[in-house]
Amino acid sequence: MRWSILVPIALTVAGCTSANQHYLTEFEPLSDSEFRYEAKADNIVRPVDDPSAEAQRMEWLNRYLASSQLCPNGYTITSRKVVQTQDLMADTFTIYYRGGCT
């Protein structure tokens, strides 16, 4: 009984990951070896300093890099800046990343 409820929920959450990537992030190659990446964060679901939220943001960045065929040998984040914005319901943040290929 439990599995019949949990499996559809897990599949729904997994499917949302790709949709969230496009809604919550922006990626721009700046050259053949540099890029700019922005990701939205908040205090509840995707906290700025939460390791699992940051891992998700890095997974999305890796997808962008792979689809752009940029940095096949890896990359380094050269800067990370967090800017707080005010939403109607909660504090939100934009995290600005710059990176380069290794």
Which residue, 16, 42, 19, is CA-closest to 94? 42
Q: Please tell me the total count of domains within the chain.
A: 1
Domain CATH number, residue 40: 2.60.40
List, for residues 17-72, the tens digit of each pLDDT value.
556 887 899 999 999 999 999 999 998 889 999 999 999 999 999 999 999 999 99
Q: How far is CA 60 from the centre of its chain?
A: 5
Regarding pTM above 0.85, the answer is no
Domain containing 17 equals 2-101
CA torsion sign, 41 to 42 to 47 to 49?
positive
